[in-house]
Amino acid sequence: MAFAIDSRRIGVAVLAAALTAVLVWFGTGLFPMWPLLWLAPLPVLLFAARSSWWATALTAALAWAVGSLNMEHYYRAALQVPLAGRVEIITAPALVFISAVLLFRALLRRGAAWSALLAFPAVWVSFEYIFNRTSPHGTAVSLSYSQLRFLPILQLASVTGPWGISFLLLAFSSALAIGFHLRAAAPKQAARIASATIGVLALVLVFGAVRLASPPPPGQMVRVGLVASDLPPYASVAAPGADTERMLRNYAAHAETLAAGGAQVIVLPEHLGEVIEPNIASTDAILQDLADKTKATIVVGISHVSAQEAYNQARVYAPGAQVLSYNKHHLLPPFESRFEPGRSTLILPESAETWGVAICKDMDFTQLSRQYGRAEVGLMLVPAWDFTLDRVSHGHIAIMRGVESGFSIARAARGGYLTVSDNRGRILAETQSSSAPFATLIADVPAVHDTTLYLLLGDWFAWFTLAILAFTLVRLALLTRPGVR
């Protein structure tokens, strides 16, 4: 009989771990299916409510670790992360998930159901925020990016940043698990917890729907043109000198076609070639002459190397104006370790609207985007270079920055997408960079800044989440004192 009972418990644990792993696998990763993550933690949470702490920990560890293997090929083949690093990438979030589930279990089993409801998402969101502040990869681990296609929920980023989306996402499973666990012993409390959570979700959806339906502030539409090529030799950084000049002349021919189609600003990808001082003037002349001829502003990414330092740089050529430059702030290790990080923003003074410039990975970070938002930028121009596999998972991260800080985005990436999105996160136009020998895109985009609550208050919700976590830990400590119920 004992063997039969143990076998059944093991079977339930394996089933819970398998269900959560499958939902995490398909709900996150390179091509996330956004509805799945709303239910992903639920099987493990239901198991945790009626199981020992060690069985809960093992089940949670297995579920999250297996689900996270959906990114193994990307880390190994694209980012070339060594084995030890890949183990760490899987292990660290799995430990956070274990901690969140165990805290949920401990509070729920001690009768603190409301604290359990909040503790589970608070642990994970606290991890996301601390990772954002301490890691060179910024917000990359945030579960909120799984919801980029769920536009009503995405609008919550304008209030809380990515942190509120992750919190609500996980609180939903937490509420369902508590409601199911208490349905017999405390049906009224179960109903209150479930209805309160669903009520908050409904309010967020209504807010999102209203925000999406509201017309943008009056302002000017800008016609943007994007161009990129994934064919050799355009899929690599051109060598200094003749190769780089040839690369830029070939791109310039397609940029001229976009300008003839009415493009007022044209964005080329990141790292097209390497320019070594003192040859920058001859390289600049190629695109400056084109800007003067077509009256279009051109933004291009190059590697700018001098005797003292090297930068991953975006250079801006405006008609009849001095060449401007922006140096990438957030560099991707180890691929960009030789470059110095930039320190300043670049806002184009020539435009009737306010345009800003950033490069690829810079858009993974909320702080830099908020600097542009505070400057009332209405359109961000972003040269980029993705790894093909991550054209959705990384290429679309920038979309959330536009929702948070109130600007549209024109992003041109090799190995990814040419994407134009507005400040509500709607993709206005998009094409894959491999869709033609030289893929081009032209679209009209509102270059109008929209002031958001997140822009004004910053990471207030992340700090609120840290306070919730501290409260639930103190609550647990008090509940575990001898004689305390």
> 266 by DSSP, 3-state: which?
strand
**Interatomic CA distance for residues 84 and 65, integer angstroms:** 15
Q: 317 or 184, which is more confident?
A: 317
- Position 187 scores a pLDDT of 92
Q: What is the mean pLDDT of residues 347-363?
A: 89
278's CB contacts (< 8 A; 6+ apart) are: none
Cis amide bond preceding 152, omega within 30: no
Residue 240 confidence (pLDDT): 93
- Tokens (6 digits) for 16: 């819970």
Q: Which residue has better confidence, 405 or 351? A: 405
Nearest CA-CA partner of 220 in 418, 451, 378: 378
Integer Cα distance of 100 and 187 in angstroms: 25
Angle formed at CA 172 by CA 364 and CA 426, multiple of 5 degrees: 40
pLDDT of residue 351: 67
| Average pLDDT of span 234-258 | 93
Q: What are the distances in angstroms from CA 468 to CA 142, 325, 484?
A: 19, 43, 21
Question: How much of the chain, in percent, has pLDDT values that exceed 70?
Answer: 97
In the prediction, which pLDDT does 151 show? 98
DSSP 50: T
Residue partners of 147: CB distance under 8 A and separation at least 6 = 34, 37, 153, 154, 165, 169
What letter does residue 273 receive in the DSSP assignment?
B
Tokens linked to 205: 């959806």
Give the pLDDT score at 273: 95
Q: Is 126 left (phi over 0), alpha (psi -120 to 50) or beta?
A: alpha
Q: Would you give the distance in Å from CA 317 to the centre of its chain?
A: 29
Check pLDDT > 60 for residue 284.
yes
Angle between helices 83-109 and 53-68 (to 10 degrees): 140
State which amino acid sits at residue 442. Answer: I
What mean pLDDT is predicted for residues 295-311?
94
- Tens-place pLDDT, residues 115-136: 999 999 999 999 999 999 999 9
Alpha-carbon span 340 to 67, nearest angstrom: 36
Give tens-digit pLDDT for 27-46: 999 999 999 999 999 999 99
Report phi then psi at 462, rounded to 5. Answer: -60, -40
**Which pLDDT band holds residue 480 (cuts at 50, 70, 90)?**
confident
Q: Give the strand pairing for 427-432 and 417-421.
A: antiparallel
In this prediction, residues 197-209 reach a mean pLDDT of 97
C-alpha to C-alpha distance for 170 and 140, rounded to whole angstroms: 17
Give the pLDDT band of residue 393 (cuts 50, 70, 90).
Answer: very high
Q: What's the mean per-residue pLDDT of the chain? A: 94
pLDDT tier at 1, thresholds 50, 70, 90: very low
Structure tokens at 201: 């979700």
Query: Partners of 385 in the beta sheet?
Result: 414
Domain with residues 221-449, CATH architecture: 4-Layer Sandwich (3.60)
What's the whole-model pTM score?
0.94
- Kindly list the domain boundaries of the chain, sorted by start residue: 2-214+459-479, 221-449
Q: What is the mean pLDDT of residues 229-234?
A: 88
* pLDDT exceeds 50 at position 20: yes
Which one-letter DSSP state was computed for residue 341? P
Q: pLDDT category, 5, cuts 50, 70, 90?
A: low
Average pLDDT over residues 173-198: 94
The whole-number pLDDT of residue 350 equals: 64
The pLDDT score that the predictor gives to residue 219 is 73
Residue 384 backbone dihedrals phi, psi, to 5 degrees: -150, 165
Q: What is the pLDDT of residue 2?
A: 47
Measured distance CA(481)–CA(227) in Å, rounded? 64
Q: Give the span between the Cα atoms of 82 and 169, in whole angstroms.
A: 32
The mean per-residue pLDDT over the stretch 6-14 comes to: 88
Q: Is the pLDDT of residue 72 over 80?
A: yes
pLDDT tens per residue, range 207-226:
999 999 987 767 789 999 99
298 within 8 A of 317, measured Cβ to Cβ: yes
**Rama region for 135: left / alpha / beta (φ>0; ψ in -120 to 50; rest):** beta
The arithmetic mean of pLDDT across residues 456-470, rounded, is 98
Q: What is the pLDDT of residues 163-184, one digit of tens each?
A: 999 999 999 999 999 999 999 8
